[in-house]
Amino acid sequence: MKKFFTLVIVSFVSALAIQAQTVKITKTDNSIVTLNASEVSKIEFLPATPAPKPMPPHAFTGYLTVTAPGIFTNKLFGEAATMDVDMKNYVVTFSDSQWGTGTFKFTMAEGKIQGTGKMKISYKGSPATEYDATMAGTMTDIKITVPSLMGGLVINWHYGKAPAALKAAGEFSGKTSLTVGPSYGPYDSNSVTYKIVANDNNTINLTIPKETYDGVMMVGNLTIDSYTINNLSFNETTQSFEREYSNDGLMVHLKSDGMMALDGDYSFKNPSKVIVKLGQDGTLTITNDYNLERMPLSLSAVYTGKKTK
């Protein structure tokens, strides 16, 4: 008897399934989804999709060029400054080992951001002080201005590694050794300051100062006036700046008091090439091999120095 009733119930349910033409699902918001029975192959109850996690801040590392009016302009200060960007709350957090920390609320429009906030900076070893500050720029170049510090401090953050030209830029104090011809010398000019200026296209301009050499063969005490070689290009292979400058139209004044006295302007002739290399330890080495019109022997100057500012 029990088996009979079971068969009846199964037959009844099967008949209802055959007769059903649609499947109606009522959702919790009372909306209804209706499907044809023929469209349904399987119904499963799966775990709910987890809620999305909060968007973490995006951290970017870059280099700094800093301007303090009357003190220095666009001076490079390392390559490890970070910007943490919280796009959910529109907050940027700046951090650098030397120039402190800052937090800014910002807005964004057409790829540019601007905002206001506070910078905490320790100046000349003093305890960190909080200053009002503003920020503006793009996501790869951000200018932070602190009006009340150092006459209007400007911290420029740039995404990525610093160009080689910026690393080399500055003033260097050191010594130049001069060789005349294949083997006369070297003659030294001590405590001379060479200056390197970075150009926007990653080339440099090199200013060679006035240098004096005592007891040079034939010419006696020799003074070579200052001159500037522009647009030295960076060689990725040798990691140095180079230029063959004999066709640049440069002139240099030489003066001496020896048996072969000199007092005039001389143009450079081919070959005249300068190579500038900044070592990992910060030592600047400059090799300047050149020839001058009306001069029978070539000149070779090797300079080594350290950055002073």
Q: What is the pLDDT of residues 225-243, one digit of tens each?
A: 999 999 999 999 999 999 9
Architecture of domain 165-307: Beta Barrel (2.40)
Neighbours of 66 (CB within 10 A): 22
Strand, helix or coil for residue 183? coil
pLDDT tens digits for range 18-61: 455 776 777 777 788 777 767 767 766 666 666 555 545 588 99
Identify whether the C-beta of residue 263 lies closer than 8 Å to the C-beta of residue 234: no
Mean pLDDT score of the chain: 89
Fold of 58-162: Porin (2.40.160)
pLDDT more than 70, % of the chain:
87
- Name beta bridge partners: 116: 105, 134
What pLDDT score does 58 carry?
84
Helix (H, G, I), strand (E, B) or coil at 265: strand
Q: Where are the domains of the chain?
A: 58-162, 165-307
∠ CA 174-175-177, nearest 5°, is 155
Q: How far is CA 80 from CA 63, 71, 92, 251, 278, in A?
A: 6, 23, 16, 42, 20
HEC string of 80-125 equals: CEEEEEECCCCEEEEEECCCEEEEEEEEEECCEEEEEEEEEECCCC
